[in-house]
Structures are given as C-alpha cells and as structure tokens.
Structure 1
C-alpha cells in the first residue's frame, strides 16, 4: 500500500505529460501542412488584383499590377535577422483603371545613405497581404514613421484602398530591396514544445522511481 499513492501519482503525471507531447506532435503535423499550403499559394502563378479582395480568402494571393507610384511614402520600422533595423517603404500604386492600392516596395537599412523612394510608372509582382502586426503595445505613428503595417490605417493616411501588395519584383528596379511574403515569420515551435513535454515526462518518471526507492529504504 505504501507504494500505491506514488505509483498512481507517477503514472498519472507521466500519462498527462506524454499526452501533451503527443498533442504537440499532432499540432506539428497540422502546422507543417498549413505552411506547405501557404508556400504553394505564395509561389503560384500571379493573377490580376481582384476587384474586391477578401482579407481571408485572398491572403497571400500572387498578383501582378502596373501603374504610377505615388509621391508620398510611409516608413515602417522593422528588423531582419542578420541585417538589423530596417525601414519598410509603403506607398501607393494608381492603376490604369484608377484604383489606388497600397504597395510594400521593400526595405533599406536605417544606416543606408540612399533612401530615395522610386516614383513613376512601374510593373510589379507580389502577394496580397493583411499583416497582423498591431497590438495594444504598438506605438502610434510618428508623422511618416510607423511601427507596424496597419493596412486600414495606412490606406486612410494615403487615400488608398485597404489592399496591400507586398512586392516580390518591381520593374524598373530601385535601391529599395523587395522583402517578399514568406512563411519565415510564421512560428512553428511545436516540435520544441513536444520535446519539452516528453522531457518532463522522463523527469517525472525518474522522480517517481526515486521516491519509491526512498520509501523502500525507509521501510527496510
């Protein structure tokens, strides 16, 4: 009887931790499938910008567009691994049909001396995107410097539709480097979580065995 309670505690604890690790493995398989689907969508053949894009159904949709870039641009403070702090450049594209769309042209490092924004007629290929970057901690814009890509607010500021094309290629080119949509910024930590839960299960099992050994020594 003296082993019953620690045995039950150990078995229940290990079972719960293993089930959590197994659940994370299922989440890993789901996330990998979702990322593969997103990658396939991002790299699909581009189409014309829909007349009324849907932020959910048309997220990451590859598109082609042409028109005149606007004179005004908003800079978004961001960072890239192994590059450092950058400014993204958001401006407008007025199409031959008279639509005014937002365009994320790309980035320049903050220390770069040449930060001129291209203007005039361009042809571009990219992906529609409605980034989810704004939360309660995001500062308000400081004039033309923004701290997140807030599509509705930027569209209002620049007098455009709330439709953002993140450029993959801009012709003619410029000193601004495109920063295309990718899955790199989508977190996928489920394997690490699974290994953590399985590791805790091993620790719990070891502690249970040690506790039962201590009980045996005390009663010997």
Structure 2
C-alpha cells in the first residue's frame, strides 16, 4: 500500500468536518506541496441564514379584541400643526378696543371744542369792554377772547422778549411790556404787543416802536399758550424767555397776572411798514383755536375697524389641506 492511500484512509473520517485554517498557514502560490505534506483543506462553503418565518396567524390580532376601536372610527379633532397664537393675538385683540374708546373720547372732545369756539366767536364780535382796574385771574377763562380796552403808560424798561418765534419764515420775538394804569400802580397788566424781527431786538434800533406817554390799547383778554416738553425753562436772570409764564412775569414786573394781546387790522402795507420800523405787529381779532378732533375721530375709528378685520381673519382663517390631513391622522 502506497503512502498516498494510507493518508487517504486516515483522513477519510475528517473530510466531513469543517476545520478552520488560519490565514497565515495558507500555502503561498510559489510554494510546492510535497507528497509527504498534509493535503489542502476543502473549499469553504458560504451558507445563508434561513428566511424569517411569518408571524403565526394563530396569534391574536388587535382587531380580535372586542374593546378595540379603529382610528378610522375616531372622530376628527382640530389640531394646530403650526405655532400657536401667542401674545401677538392678545395685542391684536386689544388694539381695536383701545382705538374704539379713543375715537369715542374724541367725539366728546369735538363737541366740547365746537362749543368753545362758538362761545369765543360770540365774545369777539361784541364791542370792546373797558378792563376793570382789578381783574380776578380765576375768571379770565370765562372771558377768553373778549375784546377789551386798556389805557396807561408802557414800562419799556421792563420789556421782555419771548422767543425765538417764527413769522413768514423770519426769526423774531414776541414783545411783552407792562402797561401801568393811572391812579392805581397795582392795576398794571401785561400786554403782548406783537412780533418784531430779530434785527430789531435792541430798543435803540426801533425808537418808533417805543411809544411814550399815555396810550389806549385794544386787545383780547387771553390765557396764553403753555410750554411743551421740548420748551426750555425761562431764565429771567439772563432776560431769556421761551414761553409766557404769566405768574412769573407778573412777579418780576409787579403786575397783575393778566394777559392782553394787542390787535390790529391785517393790512399788508401797514404790516410791511411796521416790520421795517421795528414796530410790534399785533394779531388780528379772530379766533385761532385749532379743531382737529374730526380727523382724530376718523383715524381712531378707522384703526379700530382695520384691526378688527385683521383679528377676524387671523382667528377665522381656514386651515390648509396638509393641516387637515394631520388633524385627521394625528393618532396613526
């Protein structure tokens, strides 16, 4: 028996077994296998895992449960897929309410201002009334725009310039001079003589604008305008006045806190002559109260209506198709 048959007989029981061989022990292509060396192992076989078995049909399905309810049977619920309304919707709801109340308040203001203008126009058409020596400051509001006559002498040494004030694009000042009445020094009143240009601020440059002796002034008994938040405070120590503070000016000049605005006919040539000579240009005898409340009513009510429509569109806006499907299938 040859050596090859002996090896086959000894290796026959091992041929059915799979013996892994390390990669380092594999024979190289250039190596030779002698008859006495071990035979090469059989080729490795690759097997696939068996297919997965389907679920056992005998197992219980969810629909077999008597209490099971299909999602199709569930009633659809409204679900918002996007961002929920936050503080913006609350603000949008407050705006029309606030605007409506402001519009209603302006309606009341319009009625009040219309009545006030009617009263002032009735006073201004009446003949001038001689101003009493003593005037109660608290009663001036009841005689606002009342035409009065005042006779006395100007104290030009106590003259005050309020400004700067613009007129026809030119900068200037309002001339305020105490008027001392005969017989009672305590009856002095403050007279707003009118406007002069800035170049005539110095009294030496306008001698014709400084009347001497006794004069009679026709004017309107008025409550002067108030300062706003942008108006600086007066500085009497530097003779700088930015608004008519009647009480402050009366204390400085020893006058009554009474404000009279001198009037004149609005004649163009007379006004031009006064401006060139530095004579104060008085105001026309007319009511110049602003009445813009009708515009405010339209603005506030329009804003209330517009924001109410916006609020209704935001709340009642129909959902998109994709939003409907998400709402129907939110539990899938």
Return the TM-score normalized by structure 1: 0.76
Cα displacement (A) at 1:62: 1.8
- Write the distance in 1 (CA, Å) between the matches of 2:307 and 2:132: 55
Cα displacement (A) at 1:96: 2.8
Which residue of structure 1 lines up, in the alignment, with residue 313 of structure 2?
210
Which residue of structure 1 lines up, in the alignment, with residue 211 of structure 2?
119
Cα displacement (A) at 1:11: 8.8
Gapped regions of structure 1 (runs ≥ 5): none
> In 2, are the aligned partners of 1:115 and 1:176 still within 8 Å (CA)?
no
> In 1, are the aligned partners of 2:226 and 2:243 still within 8 Å (CA)?
yes
SS at 1:27 equivalent? helix
After superposition, the Cα gap between the structure-2 partners of 1:52 and 1:135, relative to the gap in structure 1 and judged at 3 Å, is: farther
Q: Residue 144 in 1 paired to residue 239 in 2? A: yes
Kindly report the root-mean-square deviation, in angstroms, between the aligned alpha carbons of the 2 structures.
3.4
Cα displacement (A) at 1:106: 0.8
After superposition, the Cα gap between the structure-2 partners of 1:93 and 1:212, relative to the gap in structure 1 and judged at 3 Å, is: closer
Question: Of 274, 294, 303, which aligns to 1:200?
Answer: 303
Deviations 1:96-130 (A, max 9, x none): 33332221111112245854442212111012233
Q: Residue 131 in 1 paired to residue 213 in 2? A: no
More strand by share: 1
- Write the distance in 1 (CA, Å) between the matches of 2:304 and 2:228: 35
> In 1, are the aligned partners of 2:234 and 2:240 still within 8 Å (CA)?
no
Aligned length: 212
After superposition, the Cα gap between the structure-2 partners of 1:219 and 1:25, relative to the gap in structure 1 and judged at 3 Å, is: farther
Question: Of 95, 117, 129, which aligns to 2:181?
Answer: 95
SS at 1:57 equivalent? helix
Which residue of structure 2 lines up, in the alignment, with residue 23 of structure 1?
105
> In 1, are the aligned partners of 2:127 and 2:147 still within 8 Å (CA)?
yes
After superposition, the Cα gap between the structure-2 partners of 1:139 and 1:164, relative to the gap in structure 1 and judged at 3 Å, is: closer
- Write the distance in 1 (CA, Å) between the matches of 2:247 and 2:95: 48
- Compare CA radii of gyration and give the structure with the larger one: 2
Deviations 1:154-198 (A, max 9, x none): 12222322222211149xx872101357543x4433223212222
Q: Residue 64 in 1 paired to residue 142 in 2? A: no
Return the TM-score normalized by structure 2: 0.54
- Write the distance in 1 (CA, Å) between the matches of 2:293 and 2:302: 14
Query: Larger relative contact order (C-alpha < 8 A, sep ≥ 6)?
Result: 1
- Write the distance in 1 (CA, Å) between the matches of 2:120 and 2:95: 37
Deviates more, 1:157-166 or 1:17-26: 17-26
Which residue of structure 2 lines up, in the alignment, with residue 155 of structure 1?
250
Which residue of structure 1 lines up, in the alignment, with residue 197 of structure 2?
109
Which residue of structure 2 lines up, in the alignment, with residue 75 of structure 1?
161
- Write the distance in 1 (CA, Å) between the matches of 2:178 and 2:99: 51
More helix by share: 2
